[in-house]
Amino acid sequence: MLIGEQSWEFKRRPVILGTSSVVGPDEGKGPLGDQFDVVHEDTLIGQDSWEKAEKKMLEEAAELALKHANMPKEQLQFYVGGDLLNQIISNSFAVRTMQVPYLGIFGACSTSMEGLAIASMIVDSGFGERVMAGTCSHNCTAEKQFRYPTEYGSQKPPTAQYTVTGAGAAVLGLKGSGPVVTGATIGRVVDLGIKDPFNMGAAMAPAAVDTLTAHFRDFGREPGYYDLIVTGDLATVGYDIACDLLRERGLDMTQTVYQDCGKLIYDLEKQNVQAGGSGCGCSATVTYGPLLKRLRKGDLNRILVVATGALLSPLSFQQGESIPGIAHAVAIERGEVQNG
């Protein structure tokens, strides 16, 4: 049900029956490397194009999430997902393989939690019993589509971010055991006029703060309600801006409580990733891999994932538009076996 102005409370607590995280070589070399389900050794993973590799990773993630949920693929009722590629082809072509009713979505890198929020609503409200949310991104497909031909090896400013090669998926249901989705906050478009596509973190930080503020207001919660709050892919530049903006609003959060998936996924000292990770796959693989592992172990009890997206296109940038940001937040808590 609607709670407050822009949030959803999932009273029936949809269970995350299974998740998966499939990543590429750079993510495998990062500090979370051993906590992903699959680490590919190269970026083509046996395909003849990076786009096909991205689609293939999502297919693997979908299969693996179903396996972890112990659910035959014929039982899956709906799939909700999207990605960064024009016309979200990675998802549409992966879903062609899966043969399941499909809701395509787009929220740039916020797609991960937009999908989890919609999937949770479907399950919570009885519009579906077994629903998957999935997303993916690929460093090389994003580079060639959004920036320069990959072969150029163009130099980047330190504020730039490195698109994560990875796919993540989650299978939701009402019965079973696993972490539960308890709420979501749907973000508004926030645009403070940033026009530099090599500084996405700065463009997205205000949206993350807007959604976080709305979340605490709508649910009547303090940041301390959660053991961990992560933004999707603000990376170092955006993270610092978000911390400043949060402090201005009286929401002072320490590094123990507030982190960012774009900072967690790479070794920022040793890996050449500028300010850190980005892409739909960033928050998806970190959440559906390492973070949910910690929830399942009881190392964490309540987390809030605030996936952030920059809603630009190369064309909107070329036409002089600034970069609108958006962020969607989903609360996940340690669950007991329910309805069992």
Q: Give the total residue count for the chain.
A: 340
Closer residue to a second copy, CB minimum distance, 82 or 289: 82
Applying CB under 8 A, the span of 126-134, 170-178, 227-235, 331-339 interacting with a second copy comes to 126-134
Contact letters for a second copy, residues 256-295 (x by CB under 8 A): ----------------------------------------
**Distance from C-alpha of 61 to C-alpha of 167, rounded to nearest angstrom:** 6
125 binds a second copy (CB under 8 A): yes
Interacting residues with a second copy between 176 and 235 (CB under 8 A): 186-189, 191
Closer residue to a second copy, CB minimum distance, 26 or 210: 210
Closer residue to a second copy, CB minimum distance, 21 or 185: 185
- The contacts of residue 328 (CB under 8 Å, 6+ apart) are 107, 110, 113, 114, 117, 184, 185, 186, 187, 211, 306, 307
Least CB distance from residue 93 to a second copy, whole Å?
7
108 binds a second copy (CB under 8 A): yes
**Distance from C-alpha of 306 to C-alpha of 258, rounded to nearest angstrom:** 11
Coil/strand/helix, residue 85 = coil
Closer residue to a second copy, CB minimum distance, 127 or 270: 127
Per CB under 8 A, the list member of 16, 17, 43, 52 interacting with a second copy is: 52
In this structure, are strands 166-173 and 15-23 parallel, antiparallel, or unpaired? Answer: antiparallel
Coil/strand/helix, residue 321 = coil
122 binds a second copy (CB under 8 A): yes
For residue 250, the tally of other CB atoms under 10 A from its CB is 7
Interacting residues with a second copy between 32 and 51 (CB under 8 A): 49, 51
What is the separation of C-alpha 232 from the centre of its chain, rounded to a whole number of angstroms?
6
Applying CB under 8 A, the span of 83-91, 174-182, 240-248, 267-275 interacting with a second copy comes to 83-91
Coil/strand/helix, residue 325 = strand
Residues 163, 235 contacting (CB under 8 angstroms): no
Binding-site size, a second copy (CB under 8 A): 56
Least CB distance from residue 8 to a second copy, whole Å?
5
Residue type, 301: N
128 binds a second copy (CB under 8 A): yes
Angle between helices 139-146 and 50-68 (to 10 degrees): 140
For residue 251, the tally of other CB atoms under 10 A from its CB is 18
- The residues that touch a second copy, with contacts defined as CB under 8 A, are 1-2, 5-6, 8, 49, 51-52, 77-78, 82, 84-89, 92-93, 95-96, 99-108, 114, 118, 121-122, 124-129, 186-189, 191, 311-316, 319, 321, 324, 326
